[in-house]
Amino acid sequence: MNYIVGLIGSVLGWLMYYCYRILPNYFISIIIFTFGTKLVLLPVSLWVQRNSIKMVKMQPKVNLIKAKYYGNSEKISEEQYELYKREHYQPLADLIPLALQLILLMGVIDVINHPVEHIFRGESGVLDTMFGSLDLSSIPAEVGGIAYLIPFAAACSAWFMCFVQNKINVLQAEQGKLNQVGTMILSIGLSLYLGFFVKTGVGIYWTFSNLFSVVQLYFLNMVMNPKHYIDYEALERSREELKAASAFCSRNKKKLFEKDPYRKKERADYKRFFKDYEMQLVFYSEKNGFYKYFQNIIETLLEQSDVMINYITSDPKDQVFEMESERFKPFYIGENKLIVLMMKMEADIVVMTTPDLESFHIKRSLVRKDNEYIYVPHDVNSPNLTFRKEALDHFDTIFSSGPLCTEEIKRREELYKLPQKKIIPWGSSVIDNMIQSCNAMEIQKKQWKQILIAPSWQKDNILYTCIEEILHLLQGYGYHIIIRPHPQFVRHEAERLNALREKFQIDARNNMELQTDFSSNRTVYEADLVITDWSSIAFEYSFATLKPSLFINTPMKVMNEDYEELGITPIDIALRSRIGKSIDLDELASLPQAVYELLHDNAFSRESIAKIRDKYIYHIGHSGEVGAAYIMERLAYYQKRHEEEEEY
Task: Kindly state the percentage of the chain with pLDDT values over 90.
Answer: 49
Q: What is the mean pLDDT of the chain?
A: 87
Please check the confidence at residue 94 and state whether its pLDDT lies above 70: no
**What pTM, to 2 d.p., does this model score?**
0.65
Q: Are 514 and 501 in contact (CB under 8 A)?
A: yes
Q: Are 353 and 293 in contact (CB under 8 A)?
A: yes
Span 23-33, mean pLDDT?
Answer: 86
The confidence score (pLDDT) of residue 259 equals 55
Span 250-258, mean pLDDT?
Answer: 55
The confidence score (pLDDT) of residue 625 equals 97
The confidence score (pLDDT) of residue 589 equals 95
Please check the confidence at residue 610 and state whether its pLDDT lies above 90: yes
Q: What is the pLDDT of residues 457-497, one digit of tens each?
A: 888 999 999 999 999 999 889 999 999 998 888 888 889 99
Whole-angstrom distance, CA of residue 94 vs CA of residue 87: 16
Query: How far is residue 59 CA from its own chain's centroid?
Result: 18
The confidence score (pLDDT) of residue 226 equals 84
Please tell me the least confidently modeled range out of 265-269, 273-277, 379-383, 437-441. 273-277
The confidence score (pLDDT) of residue 167 equals 86
Please tell me the least confidently modeled range out of 12-21, 146-155, 193-202, 605-614. 12-21
Q: What is the pLDDT of residues 268-283, one digit of tens each?
A: 999 999 886 567 999 9
More confident position, 17 or 73: 17
The confidence score (pLDDT) of residue 89 equals 76
Span 12-33, mean pLDDT?
Answer: 83
DSSP for 233-279, written as a single string? HHHHHHHHHHHHHHHHHHHHHHHHHHH-TTHHHHHHHHHHHHHTS--
The confidence score (pLDDT) of residue 372 equals 97
The confidence score (pLDDT) of residue 96 equals 67
Whole-angstrom distance, CA of residue 599 vs CA of residue 531: 12
The confidence score (pLDDT) of residue 124 equals 67
SS3 at position 398: strand
Span 54-59, mean pLDDT?
Answer: 84
Q: Are 318 and 288 in contact (CB under 8 A)?
A: yes
Taking Cα atoms as reference points, which of 165, 167, 166, 159 lies closest to residue 195? 159
Cα dihedral 99/104/109/112 (nearest 10): -160
Find the DSSP H helices in 260-326. 263-275, 291-304
Span 425-448, mean pLDDT?
Answer: 89
Whole-angstrom distance, CA of residue 339 vs CA of residue 95: 30
The confidence score (pLDDT) of residue 255 equals 52
Q: How confident is the model at residue 312 (pLDDT cuts 50, 70, 90)?
A: very high
Span 89-96, mean pLDDT?
Answer: 68
Q: What is the pLDDT of residues 132-188, one digit of tens each?
A: 888 888 888 888 888 889 899 999 999 999 998 888 877 777 777 787 888 889 889
The confidence score (pLDDT) of residue 470 equals 96
- Long-range contacts at 161-167 (CB < 8 A, ≥ 24 apart): 161/187, 161/210, 161/211, 161/213, 161/214, 162/187, 162/188, 164/214, 164/217, 165/217
Span 65-90, mean pLDDT?
Answer: 76
Please tell me the least confidently modeled range out of 257-261, 548-552, 582-586. 257-261
Q: How confident is the model at residue 547 (pLDDT cuts 50, 70, 90)?
A: very high
